Amino acid sequence: MKNGLTDIPKYKLENFRHLHRHSNPGAHFGNNIPDDTERIEGFEIYSSDGMVSSKGPLKSIFYRIGITVNGSLNMQVGLDEYTHRPGTLTFTFPNQTFSTSNVSKDAFGYYMFFIPEFLNDIIPSIKIADEFPFYDISGVPVFQIESEEMENILVLVMKINTELQYKKSGRDKAIKMYVYLLLLEAKRSYERQNIGNTKSFLRDSSKLINRFKKLVTQYYLNKKQVNDYAQMLGVSPNHLNRIVKENTGKTASEVIKEMILQEAKSLLRYTGNSVAEIAYRLDFSDPASFNRFFKTFTKETPLAYRSRHN
């Protein structure tokens, strides 16, 4: 909250459903049911039947697991863009900015959410990023797995659903154990593919760009100048600009502006702030400057964007 303005909501499980599901429950899988009688505190699971075609940019205060079985969709996590295809796993952690779009007609899969404390009986929440590298800010959150690995994961998904539906004794603990085993299966594939070590083989310029992007996703609201990031990275602003431009086709300043644009889109889509208030929230000198900035990147005005998504 800044001078009475609403920040981007950081969604909890209790107020997130309307953003990712259509109102009609559709297939009765997991938590995709008309009432809450089968809820497990701090955890939800769904099939993609009934999922909205696009959402975000937004933030949540829970962890997310996505499993793409068929079809494709696009996902953006911070400044990184990914294309899901059959056999894709995706993982996001609390307070990340993410969005999904272009879900194909044949897309199908499963996804689940859990709050940081959900697995405390098995692993302390503070250790999750250490235990599962795809949940670490320096990790790779989207990757492909082999068909046999997918089969193992889908078996666990069905076990979770069975526990959720039949309400037998000890189901809370059983679901937590199955979620942990699913994360462990994903971790084994991650390690088998040596995903966590790929950065050691990247060129120095690629390492610099990766570090720059991670810093921007953390500090873009408070640090908006290339010099800020150059100092944190121990390089000159000119060097940072040159490396980023040579490897991405964008200047370092444009990369920072991309994250500010995501914030602007989220404020327009998920808050009632006026365009003028959003311009102030993002430290533009006046609404006209914000309008020019937004239209330069999106080819439409902030009001047009808000109207199209509301």
Give the residue among 28, 17, 48, 15 at the shortest CA–CA distance from 161: 28
Residue with tokens 């006026």: 274
Residue range 10-197, CATH number: 2.60.120.280
pTM: 0.83
Residue pair 154/112 in contact by the 8 Å Cβ criterion:
no
Give the residue among 214, 191, 199, 186 at the shortest CA–CA distance from 88: 186
The amino acid at 51: M
**Mean pLDDT by groups of 10 residues along the chain of 310 residues:** 60 86 73 70 92 87 96 92 95 91 93 96 94 90 96 97 89 96 98 74 74 90 92 93 91 94 92 92 92 94 91
Q: How confident is the model at residue 190, as a pLDDT?
A: 96
Residue pair 247/211 in contact by the 8 Å Cβ criterion:
no
- In a 3-state reduction of DSSP, which class is residue 220? coil
Start-to-end C-alpha separation, the chain: 23
Residue pair 258/269 in contact by the 8 Å Cβ criterion:
no
Question: What is the residue extent of each domain of the chain?
Answer: 10-197, 202-309
| H or E stretch covering 143 | strand 142-144
- Helix/strand/coil percentages in the chain, nearest 5: 50, 20, 35
Residue range 202-309, CATH number: 1.10.10.60
